[in-house]
Amino acid sequence: MAFELPPLPYAANALEPHMSANTFSFHHAKHHNAYVTNLNNLVKDTPMSQMSLEEIILESAKDPAKGGVFNNAAQIWNHTFFWNCMKPQGGGQPTGDIAAKIDEAFGSYDAFKEQFKAAAVGQFGAGWAWLVVEDGALKITKTLNADLPMAHGQTALLTVDVWEHAYYLDYQNRRPDFVQSFLDNLVNWDFVNQNLARA
């Protein structure tokens, strides 16, 4: 069965002014959609066409010859996850179980924010910054290009996309401003808590 572009979990203008409908018209409708189209073409008439997205990611991550499959499958997963990491009127202080876990792991939410922002801003070139669970502990990590925590035995709780197409139309070269706005105005802590409960 062919993969399909998942719809956004909110209207394309719902995150304005922090992320514009214009950004979504390219980021979701063009970039994300291209990964879906590419993956369908790459796995058509192969055993992978019967696998789940996660199965394809884990299978192709082990095989350098399947780099194109991995990149497109992982980017479908990454973007779908990223959209859910945000919500209108989001951001700010975490709530629920994740709040205590962040204090325990990083000392305070402010310390977490600084470390998460440093990972996101410090990712050279294209990639992602993540809050993950590894061996029961929270960690901040970053990945290059399409790479993702799943391929390293980690469970993703939160991510921010720092490929330029994620922010350039709204923030130009000001990646730090984009990441700050993500933390202050967009993070969906309810989604983070759901991921934590399943970790």
Q: Which of 84, 107, 123 is the last residue of a domain?
A: 84
Instruction: Determine, yes or no, domain membership for 16.
Output: no
Residues whose CB falls within 8 Å of the CB of residue 52, separated by 6 or more in sequence, listed in order? none
Structure letter (DSSP) for residue 187: B
Q: Rg of the Cα trace of the chain?
A: 16
Helices (H) and strands (E) in the chain, counts: 9, 3
Residue 38: give the domain boundaries: 21-84
Check whether residue 58 and residue 124 sit in a common domain: no
Q: What is the pLDDT of residue 5?
A: 97
Indicate the number of domains in the chain. Answer: 2
Q: What is the pLDDT of residue 150?
A: 97
Average confidence (pLDDT) over 70-87: 98
Average confidence (pLDDT) over 165-171: 95
Q: Give the pLDDT band (50/70/90) at residue 157.
A: very high
| Whether the model pTM is above 0.85 | yes
pLDDT over threshold 80, residue 11: yes
Check whether residue 103 and residue 193 sit in a common domain: yes
Q: Give the pLDDT band (50/70/90) at residue 1.
A: low
Instruction: Determine, yes or no, domain membership for 8.
Output: no
Average confidence (pLDDT) over 43-70: 95
Q: Which of 84, 105, 127 is the last residue of a domain?
A: 84
Check whether residue 75 and residue 136 sit in a common domain: no
Instruction: Determine, yes or no, domain membership for 138.
Output: yes
| 80-125 pLDDT, tens digit each | 999 999 999 999 999 999 999 999 999 999 999 999 999 999 999 9
Q: How far apart are CA 58 and CA 53, in angstroms?
A: 9
- Alpha carbon 90 to its chain centroid, in Å, reads 16
**C-alpha dist (Å) from residue 167 to 13, 25, 105, 116, 164:** 15, 12, 29, 17, 6
Domain CATH code at residue 54: 1.10.287.990
Q: What is the pLDDT of residue 185?
A: 98
Q: How far apart are CA 125 and CA 146, in angstroms?
A: 12
Check whether residue 189 and residue 108 sit in a common domain: yes
Check whether residue 143 and residue 54 sit in a common domain: no
Q: How far apart are CA 48 and CA 28, in angstroms?
A: 24
> Position of tokens 């992982």?
74
Check whether residue 75 and residue 112 sit in a common domain: no
Instruction: Determine, yes or no, domain membership for 90.
Output: no
Check whether residue 110 and residue 72 sit in a common domain: no
Instruction: Determine, yes or no, domain membership for 170.
Output: yes
Check whether residue 147 and residue 79 sit in a common domain: no
Q: Write down the mean pLDDT value for the chain.
A: 97
Domain CATH code at residue 103: 3.55.40.20
Check whether residue 79 and residue 103 sit in a common domain: no
Q: How far apart are CA 133 and CA 154, in angstroms?
A: 6
